[in-house]
Structure 1
Amino acid sequence: MSQPLSNGRTDSQPLLSTTSARLVAVRLKSANKNIFRALLSLASANLLIRVVGLLNQVVVTAKFGQAYNMDAYYVASLIPTTFAPMLASALEASVIPVYSRLRSRGSREQASKLFSTLLNLLVLSCIILTIVLLVFKAPLIYGLASKSKLETRLLAQDLAPFIFPVVGLMTLNSFMECLLNAEGKFGWPAYAGILVPMTTATCVLVGGNSAGVLMLCVGTLIGQVLQLAVIIYRAHKSHIVYRPVLDLKLPELKPIMTAAWPALFAGLISMASPAVDTIFGAFQSEGTVAALNNALKLNGVPTGVIFAAVGRAALPYLASQAAIKDMRAFKGTLRLYLWVVGIATLALTVVMTFGAWIIVGIIFQHGKFSAQDTNQTAWILAGLSIGMFPTAVGFIVSRAFSALGKTRVLMGVSIFSVFANAGFDAFFGHLWGGFGIAFATSLYYFCTMIILLVTLRMMIGKLNLLTFPKELKDMLFKFGIGKLFAPKDITLYDLGLTYKVRKGLTRVGLALAIFAAGAAGSAQNAMFTVRIAFGSLAILALLRYQYLLVLAWACINVFIGSALPLFNGNNLLSGLTLPTLLLLFYVPTKEALQRMPALAFWLFYFIWILLSMGISPVTLQEFFTIWTTQLDFFALSVLVVLIIDTRQRLMLFIDAMIAPAIFIALYGLWGFTIQQHGVIDPSTGYFRISSIFYDTPPTLGLYLSVLIPITIYRIFTLRKFLQICLAVAILLLLMLALGLTFNRGTLLAVGIGLVVTVLFLPSNKLRGIAFGAGTSIVGLILLATTLANIPILSRFANSDITSLNGRTYLWAALINHFDPAQILGYGMKSSDVLLTQLQVGFGGGVIATAAHNIYLESLFEHGIIGLVLMSLGFISFGWILIRKYANSTYEHKLLLAIAFGTLVSIVIQGYESNDIWNQGVGIYFFVLMALPFTRYWDSQKQQAQTRLEDEAQNERDGETDHPTEQKELAVI
């Protein structure tokens, strides 16, 4: 039974989770009335602003068309128009809930103090941000438009000083507007936005002929200043008092910052979507970037008027309902406005999708805007309009998360969105050009909508979104339309659509969709369709049985892309990658990052690499293929940490890693006997085996340098004599194969790594056994090779050892051509392209066309920041291994020692080889680093602790019983 709410409730009193039906109805009706009033003000203002903005766009397009100068303006303006909404969304999500609670509980003086502190912090931050943007304007513009003409980029740099200061003004305007909305003032702040397009159009008409697109920047700057002046005047009238204070000890700052940084990061990621579209648009024909922006402005008219206005109007009231834990009213408000926005948006989707050509022709086809420009813009508008409905739903639901204070959810969804947008842009942009980029945007909005709705339902329970809102039915009754509805609430159950019926209809719908896709695919490419059909079954099985997926990676991965034709051309890597990346959004990835914090640095490194997709010399398809395989390193490590939770699974997984290594070593030895599957060393004349790795012995050496330590660990875990003998024989086989690569750097690095491993073994006895056994094994190998007349160490005496086989010349060439001002570097594979062009020679021939040094390669391709992130990844691996060592069990310490020694070996080999990024090799190193942090070690440590406690208890029981026994003996 509910209790009455008290306005004088203190914070220590419990919040109520439910209210009576009558109280909910009263509150909901009051909230809806206030929201509707605010909605009218915001919607009318937004409509007027969008209409004036369209008139401004008509003036601009008629004056300048869609030539390179407009591309330059849009590239330059994209930076402030990306940062400003990002900051505005973070402020809206964090400030309004806290400020509303303070106004309802505190005094105006407290609110004024909070407002003044936030304003001062914001002004300082905006000034610093503007200076940073101006300093780095050249690399920023180059990163956005690397494929555009040089004159376009130069003009964009010239426009930057006049457009970049807009970011501070837009952010201040958004902040002031948020505060006025929290005070219930929606009209003036909304209508003040009309000054920006009006001023811009006026400046273009007055000075467009003489100053060109520069007047667009000047007009926008003046308009933002005028808008800020109007908002400040309205704030003064609303008794919002500014004080020259900066109190960083205010208790309200902590919840604001806590809610702001996830929203800020989410905004940064989500606002990267326009930048991603611009980058991919630069790969298309001239004018595509301008067409994208024109279509976005048209698409923004209904979106800004409808769901943007609803989201801003409903947020303060949703926040108030969430603050008192009134989830019933919260769900009712959310459901009502989702229905309203959904109905309106669906109607607009049909109109704007099929009427795109008419709309664009009427509005834009004037002056220099040709019929070809109209057709290009209309196709893009149609592609964007397809996603109008999921965009609206996602926008409103995201405001619900902000009201609940769950902004971290938005951060995760935004990370997914930017990756999905980039992937869809790469595929559909290559397929359909500008329309494909727009369609890709709509497609990822559908994915985002589904994720948000499912997550919200998991957090607050059933949303009943398919139930027709009673408030909307009452509204229709007032207009005479309500007779179409029954007097009671209409649900799907009233129509006979029970859960069982809906489940059956869903299955039938999916079957029909799959059948249609199969029919279309068979008509296009029958063989490819059959492969997809069988591959989808395998992918579904791997999604269901995750341990089978990691076993498949351990057994098959090394053969993919090798010299064995059986494993090539069958899309095996795609079949493993797709379920692996999808599972990242299903498994508790956060737990894996907590268990193994080093993975966070590698994730940031891979995201940093993604930012260079627009400047890389390789094609987008090649870029995403390479980048996705590198992301597999991170994803598989996460799965290994979470899925391996028993000893049986751990040992079977290690055996699955060793099994292909046995075949590869035997294949290499067989190649040595027949002088195939390897290369002849020109300096010594001896045959160097490479087994399945084509003609690259260093790749085989790097692979074996990871598998040899894990084989040593497996030997120490065995208990039966025959098993130990078999494991030792396997170790001898792997070490012999490693020696026959004649790779000096690998042999030296493995030796150092094994010495480090021995030093970290958990007992002196074990160290002695390892040292003696290791010396014996190395001696046996040297004796066998000597008897067979195989000089394994002969290459250490070559004259090229001082230049590391000519690698120092390659490194000097990269350093001479590196520019530290390139923040993102020169892009993926740029070092290979440069060395191919330079043809660096030594001893009368070309040395190589690859850097053969992961550190210099990372520096050149991904800049100083990329090198720092990669270095932090390696350093953090070592740090967490050492930190974990102290409080671990005996067997766990053994694996930690193996992993640390392997890490040292790989870091050393990184100075002469970049094969760590070879998908068939490097992934085993990341997996080995993840094995000491799996869930299994928690249960193993708990069992060991329980066993020690039992032994201690038995000892105490024995001490207690001992005096009694002595007394009995004395009596006898």
Structure 2
Amino acid sequence: MSKGRALALSAGIVTIATLSGRIFGFAREMVIANKFGASAETDAFIVAFTIPNIIYSLVVMGALSASFIPVFSGLLANDDEEEAWRLAHTILNLLLIAFGLIVAALMVFAPQVVLLVSPGFGSSGEQLALASSLLRIMAPALVFLGISGLMAGTLNSYNHFATPSLVALVQNVIMVAAIIFLAKRMGIYAAAIGFLAASLCQVLIQLPALLKRRLPYRAVLDLRSERAKSVAKLFLPVLAALAAGQSNLIVDKWFASFLETGSISYLNYAFKVGSLPLNTLVAAIAIVLFPTLSRQAATRDMEALRDTISLGVRIIAMVAVPASVGLFVLSKPIVGLLFEHGAFGPTATVATATALAAYSFGLVAMGLNMLLIRSFYALHDGVTPLKASLVFIVLLIALDIVLVRPFAHVGLALGYTIAVSVMALVMLGALRKRLQGLDEAKLLVSFAKTSLAAVVMGVGAWFTASYLGATLAGGTKLAELTVVGVAIGVGALLYLGVLVLARAEEITIIRRLISGKISGKQVAADNA
């Protein structure tokens, strides 16, 4: 199998597994919305759930993966597997110690941590107590998540993507089952217990694949090795950059905690819907390309690196631009279909849909950031993303202060969209300067074709949804599913049709990669 086809197949496997995980993630959100609505209980759970997840995302999936994979992949590329695994065991042991201490701190100081994230909870003793109890249940999951994340990074370095891509699916299936079977007896605590159990299962499903590649665990902590120092040198700036870049998860909840009850839930549901195309197709592209980018950077093949990034930007735009238009046009019917049942009423639907419309404008920037950040990390540059992230957080706070009063929770979504777009522009400009160009002419032509196709798609989807909405008026879920499904189908056909008529090069490249008619090197040559 050619290298190009192998990458395309890997991206396809990751996409399918990730999409399945996201579908069950939505099932989880739908079950929570049905059982508890946009209530004080739901707000408390979201805040408690966010705390261990953001620590995991920043430290493991973000900073550690970004600093560990380039070094680990570089060692494998240079046939030094023994040193690579000594590094992996060192990082694992350090992670266990650090996360053990963090878990202990979270359990002891749970109320104080909750108030840092959502100070508005201080006016409600019951909500603060509930969020603190939920946090204490979920905090130990950090240890399992840390091990799972390191396993995933190691397997990805071996170009094994299938098993790590299943962890989200396993987590969400277990959480959905826990809520369905335990919520009546345990209330919102069922979701917290499900999360803890699911985190352990993430480790168990990856263990067999990892053991095939190496002997079991070794108690080594070689912090003085040059490889460990290389990881540490990149880790801190990456962590700082990601902390700033993901600060919206804390900043928006901080402001929203002072708004009406349910505002945190509105933003959470809207962001989850908006993130679906990014966390499936776009994330798959970025995840699969990262080890390739790391190897190209390690071997100083800058021309191939530049071509890979340029193609990645164009393909991501080809996915994110229509997703942005589609979610804006169909925000209300999509939210109504997914969440409006049980305790989640029409008022919550409108509030969530308006937030989704505001978030939709930032999808292109969010998708590009996934690739741009990894591109800098492949170059062992954590400083540039840090600077861009600092611009993001300063701008986000300023915009939230200005927009929250006139627009409430929608203002927070708009502030995020503007700030993340500026961050993407800053990084794109810096990367263009670093690589002495990114084939700007080809990028502009591709973006123009993609935008034209997306506009045609949006108009077609809007007219289809409007017509069917009036024709099938009745409020049943089948009618809502028909409206959304047909509108998306019509829009997708129009989008692809315009791209084919416009002879979009990316369509041809993807088709040839999948068919195996060209290799990864030929793609680079075709795009040079």
- The two structures have a TM-score, normalised by structure 2, of 0.83
Q: Tell me which of 225, 235, 245 is aligned to 1:250.
A: 225
Higher relative contact order (Cα pairs below 8 Å, separated by 6+ residues): 2
- Map 1:6-17 onto structure 2 (within 5 A): none
Aligned residue identity for 2:321: L
- Displacement of 1:241 in angstroms is 4.0
Aligned to 2:83: 110
Aligned to 2:286: 311
Aligned residue identity for 2:31: V
Aligned to 1:372: 347
Task: State the secondary structure of the residue aligned to 1:227.
Answer: helix
| Residues 610-633 of structure 1: per-residue CA shift (max 9 Å, x gap) | xxxxxxxxxxxxxxxxxxxxxxxx
Q: Tell me which of 73, 77, 102 is aligned to 2:45.
A: 73
- Displacement of 1:30 in angstroms is 5.8
Aligned to 1:402: 377
| Residues 467-514 of structure 1: per-residue CA shift (max 9 Å, x gap) | 16897364378699xxxxxxx9899xxxxxxxxxxxxxxxxxxxxxxx
Aligned to 1:36: 8
Separation in 1, partners of 2:193, 2:382: 36
Separation in 2, partners of 1:115, 1:477: 37
Partners of 2:222 and 2:228 within 8 A in 1: no
Aligned to 1:475: 509
Separation in 2, partners of 1:458, 1:169: 40
Aligned to 2:19: 47
Cα-Cα RMSD: 2.2
Matched, 1:331 2:306: yes
- Displacement of 1:271 in angstroms is 2.4
1:320–1:471 CA distance, 2 compared to 1 (3 A): farther
Aligned to 2:492: none
Separation in 2, partners of 1:134, 1:476: 49
Separation in 2, partners of 1:291, 1:364: 11
Aligned to 1:60: 32
Aligned to 1:260: 235
Partners of 1:62 and 1:367 within 8 A in 2: yes
Matched, 1:82 2:116: no
| Residues 195-220 of structure 1: per-residue CA shift (max 9 Å, x gap) | 11111111111110121111111001
- Displacement of 1:238 in angstroms is 3.0
- Map 1:623-638 onto structure 2 (within 5 A): none
Matched, 1:155 2:130: yes
- Displacement of 1:102 in angstroms is 1.0
Separation in 2, partners of 1:477, 1:232: 34
Aligned to 1:175: 150
Q: Tell me which of 110, 115, 124 is aligned to 1:142.
A: 115
The percentage of aligned residue pairs carrying the same residue is: 24
Separation in 2, partners of 1:282, 1:465: 43
| Residues 855-894 of structure 1: per-residue CA shift (max 9 Å, x gap) | xxxxxxxxxxxxxxxxxxxxxxxxxxxxxxxxxxxxxxxx
Aligned to 1:131: 104
| Residues 648-707 of structure 1: per-residue CA shift (max 9 Å, x gap) | xxxxxxxxxxxxxxxxxxxxxxxxxxxxxxxxxxxxxxxxxxxxxxxxxxxxxxxxxxxx
- Displacement of 1:104 in angstroms is 2.2
Separation in 2, partners of 1:130, 1:357: 39
Partners of 1:35 and 1:317 within 8 A in 2: no
1:350–1:471 CA distance, 2 compared to 1 (3 A): closer
Separation in 1, partners of 2:367, 2:178: 34
| Residues 555-602 of structure 1: per-residue CA shift (max 9 Å, x gap) | xxxxxxxxxxxxxxxxxxxxxxxxxxxxxxxxxxxxxxxxxxxxxxxx
Aligned to 2:491: none
Partners of 1:307 and 1:392 within 8 A in 2: yes
Matched, 1:346 2:321: yes
Separation in 2, partners of 1:123, 1:162: 18
Partners of 1:112 and 1:243 within 8 A in 2: no
Partners of 2:22 and 2:168 within 8 A in 1: no
- Displacement of 1:282 in angstroms is 1.3
Aligned to 2:466: none
Separation in 1, partners of 2:440, 2:283: 20
Residues matched between the structures, number: 456
1:417–1:246 CA distance, 2 compared to 1 (3 A): same
Partners of 1:31 and 1:317 within 8 A in 2: no
Q: Tell me which of 257, 263, 275 is aligned to 1:282.
A: 257
Q: For structure 1, list consecutive stretches of 5 or more residues without a partner in the other structure.
A: 1-28, 481-487, 492-972
Aligned to 2:501: none
| Residues 927-968 of structure 1: per-residue CA shift (max 9 Å, x gap) | xxxxxxxxxxxxxxxxxxxxxxxxxxxxxxxxxxxxxxxxxx
- Displacement of 1:372 in angstroms is 0.5
1:490–1:32 CA distance, 2 compared to 1 (3 A): closer
- Displacement of 1:323 in angstroms is 1.1
Aligned residue identity for 1:326: D
Partners of 1:270 and 1:415 within 8 A in 2: yes
Partners of 2:144 and 2:202 within 8 A in 1: no
Task: State the secondary structure of the residue aligned to 1:187.
Answer: coil
- The two structures have a TM-score, normalised by structure 1, of 0.45
Task: State the secondary structure of the residue aligned to 1:147.
Answer: helix
Partners of 2:283 and 2:370 within 8 A in 1: yes
Partners of 1:207 and 1:215 within 8 A in 2: yes
- Displacement of 1:45 in angstroms is 1.1
Partners of 1:112 and 1:241 within 8 A in 2: no
Separation in 2, partners of 1:360, 1:151: 29
Separation in 2, partners of 1:366, 1:413: 41
Separation in 2, partners of 1:212, 1:377: 23
Aligned residue identity for 2:86: K
- Displacement of 1:35 in angstroms is 2.7
Partners of 1:35 and 1:313 within 8 A in 2: yes
- Map 1:620-769 onto structure 2 (within 5 A): none
Separation in 1, partners of 2:400, 2:510: 42
Task: State the secondary structure of the residue aligned to 2:135.
Answer: helix
Aligned to 2:388: 413
1:430–1:240 CA distance, 2 compared to 1 (3 A): farther
Partners of 1:195 and 1:226 within 8 A in 2: yes
- Map 1:807-886 onto structure 2 (within 5 A): none
Separation in 1, partners of 2:348, 2:261: 10
Aligned to 1:441: 416
Q: Tell me which of 172, 180, 183 is aligned to 1:208.
A: 183
1:253–1:114 CA distance, 2 compared to 1 (3 A): same
Higher helix share: 2
1:264–1:477 CA distance, 2 compared to 1 (3 A): closer
| Residues 45-84 of structure 1: per-residue CA shift (max 9 Å, x gap) | 1101000111121111111111101111111112111111
Q: Tell me which of 261, 274, 280 is aligned to 1:299.
A: 274
Aligned residue identity for 1:143: L
Aligned residue identity for 2:42: M
| Residues 308-339 of structure 1: per-residue CA shift (max 9 Å, x gap) | 21111101001111111111111111111111
Partners of 1:32 and 1:333 within 8 A in 2: no
Q: Tell me which of 382, 396, 417 is aligned to 2:357.
A: 382
- Map 1:919-930 onto structure 2 (within 5 A): none
1:30–1:428 CA distance, 2 compared to 1 (3 A): farther
Aligned to 1:98: 71
1:33–1:404 CA distance, 2 compared to 1 (3 A): farther
Partners of 1:83 and 1:268 within 8 A in 2: no
1:307–1:362 CA distance, 2 compared to 1 (3 A): same
